[in-house]
Amino acid sequence: MSGVNDDQSWAARALCASGEPDALFVQGASQRQVRLRCMECEVRLECLADALQSQANFGVWGGLTERERRALLRFHPDVEDWAQWLADSDDPLAEELRSPQVPRVLARVRR
């Protein structure tokens, strides 16, 4: 995988930037609330790309749980630039991730 984008200026525009960081590292049903907030965030895709690129193991990033991100990484092991894939791919999952609805990642990546 290529390196994580060094320009993290998008993070200051995140809805969660002014909140308590621990609020993003919740389990179970609490993740739904965090995910819904992510769906309203203007930098959601940048956040998700960063988490996928760095293989962040914990928390909700870009609207996806750690389980969803792990599944996405396993399903697409050849992606080298997640920001580009999220922005440009015609893969149905990439298209769903670009939409403002909570994606059904696990349902899409099951084989």
Domain assignment of residue 2, yes or no: no
Of the listed ranges 47-51, 84-88, 105-109, the one predicted with least confidence: 105-109
Under DSSP, is residue 64 helix (H, G, I), strand (E, B) or coil? strand
What number is the average pLDDT over the span 65-88?
A: 95
Query: Tokens in use for 39?
Result: 């769906």
Residue pointed to by tokens 């988490």: 51
Domain assignment of residue 40, yes or no: yes
Judged against a pLDDT cut of 70, whether residue 1 lies above it is answered with no
Judged against a pLDDT cut of 60, whether residue 63 lies above it is answered with yes
CA dist 95 and 87 (Å) reads: 9
Domain assignment of residue 3, yes or no: no
Q: Residues 2-47: pLDDT tens digits? A: 444 456 788 888 888 887 777 777 788 888 888 888 889 999 999 9
DSSP 9: G
The pLDDT confidence band at residue 88, using thresholds 50, 70 and 90, is very high
Question: 86 and 101 in contact (C-beta within 8 Å)?
Answer: no
Domain count, the chain: 1
Residue 44's contacts (CB-CB under 8 Å, 6 or more residues apart) are 38, 62, 63
Judged against a pLDDT cut of 70, whether residue 111 lies above it is answered with no
Annotated binding site for [4Fe-4S] cluster: which residue ranges? Answer: 16, 38, 41, 47
Q: What domain range is 32 assigned to?
A: 9-109
Domain assignment of residue 1, yes or no: no
Domain assignment of residue 47, yes or no: yes
Annotated binding site: which residue ranges? Answer: 16, 38, 41, 47
Domain assignment of residue 61, yes or no: yes
